[in-house]
Amino acid sequence: MNLNKNFFPLDKFMHEALYNRKNGFYMKKNPFGIKGDFITSPNISILFSEMLSIWTISFWKNIKSPKQINLIELGAGNGQMVYDMINSFKNFPEFYKSCKFIILEKSPYLKKIQKKKLKNFKIKWIKNLSEIREGINIFIANEFFDSLPVKQFFKINNKWIERYVKLDKKNNKSFININLDIKKIEKKLGFKISNNQKVIEYSPVALEYLKSISKKINNKKGALLIIDYGYLENSMKDTLMAIKKHKITDLFKEFGNSDITYNLNYKLLKKITNILKLKCQGITTQRNFLLNLGIQQRAEIISRNLPFSRKADIYYRLKRLIDKNQMGDLFKVMLITDKRINFNLGF
């Protein structure tokens, strides 16, 4: 780590661990899949991406089927989701013709994997949302926001401290608490994030993305669909963890070799949505969202004439997506749109 001082804020530490150009976790490897460090819904079952395709087309129809629309995936992983979605869209020629596919990707390593997988499709890759100049935009963020660096603040003896990471001479890492004036943070944010809180966990980068997206969907009939780990309580909590090979690991020992992630607080997201003058159409669990879109009926259709082993595999994968003890309740879905839109399919 090329850092001049021996301690620095948690979000800077996370940025180095995940996005350092040379040694960052996301910059040097493909962490997705059974052989990787974690598995995402699109890699579990094609049904997930098919449901998102149905949802996207329904939203497009709800806004009177515009002749031009941008579908932007925020962080496309190994490219599986957009690959399956585009193949589904081919069954809806009018939408397919209207849609421009865009991927926002920070990792050159993952971009290479995506380009190889998606070589037969017309897709534009961007590094920054400012590259989207015109059109109505639908943003899909599946496990995007949980990969962005966070800050953590704790209220101890009625005083707020910020969590920093300290480096000693041997490069050993440990947490250190630094006093801060929470009012300065709140002035910057534009709202009282500390109200009734003992812990604050938020991502300044996520906030910047949300501000940027709000400009792209406000007054333009657009939408942002967020699917991610998260919770609905008003009180924020410390949810920071490192994951390697599908297991929780030591945050410091596996620096650059493990994913560092956190759970989204959807109440905080809703507050930010209101401040940005956008509309939250709904927040629900991944289970409810997928069931409402008809994932079970779709599973029945595609497994109808299959041998038992293939049928069992489809239902095993479906269970992983919707079971309350698996991804069904752990993941939440939130839809943010322009204020004039009324659309709550899936919610």
The pLDDT > 90 percentage for the chain reads 75
Q: What is the pTM of this model?
A: 0.93
Does the structure show a pLDDT above 60 at 36? Answer: no
pLDDT of residue 195: 92
DSSP state, 158? T
The pLDDT > 70 percentage for the chain reads 96
Contact between residue 58 and residue 345 where contact means Cβ atoms under 8 Å apart: yes
List all residues 6 or more positions away from 76 whose beta carbon is below 8 Å from its beta carbon: 82, 103, 104, 105, 110, 114
Tokens of 347: 């919610």
Contact between residue 240 and residue 262 where contact means Cβ atoms under 8 Å apart: yes
Does the structure show a pLDDT above 70 at 32? Answer: no
| Range in 39-48, 82-91, 334-343 with the lowest mean pLDDT | 39-48
Phi–psi pair at 66, nearest 5 degrees: -60, 150
Distance CA 106, CA 76 (A): 10
Distance CA 154, CA 74 (A): 30
If pLDDT is split at 50, 70 and 90, which confidence band does 210 have? very high
If pLDDT is split at 50, 70 and 90, which confidence band does 2 have? very low
| Range in 5-19, 55-69, 325-339 with the lowest mean pLDDT | 5-19
If pLDDT is split at 50, 70 and 90, which confidence band does 40 have? confident
If pLDDT is split at 50, 70 and 90, which confidence band does 30 have? low
Mean pLDDT within 33-40: 63
List all residues 6 or more positions away from 151 whose beta carbon is below 8 Å from its beta carbon: 9, 10, 11, 162, 163, 200, 201, 202, 203, 204
pLDDT of residue 3: 45
**Lateral strand order in the sheet of 259-261:** 247-249, 241-244, 259-261
Residue range 7-337, CATH number:
3.40.50.12710
Does the structure show a pLDDT above 90 at 247? Answer: no
Contact between residue 283 and residue 232 where contact means Cβ atoms under 8 Å apart: yes
pLDDT of residue 5: 66
Q: For the segment 187-197, what is each residue's pLDDT rounded down to a tens digit?
A: 988 899 999 99
What H or E segment, with its residue span, contains residue 230? strand 223-231
Mean pLDDT within 225-238: 96
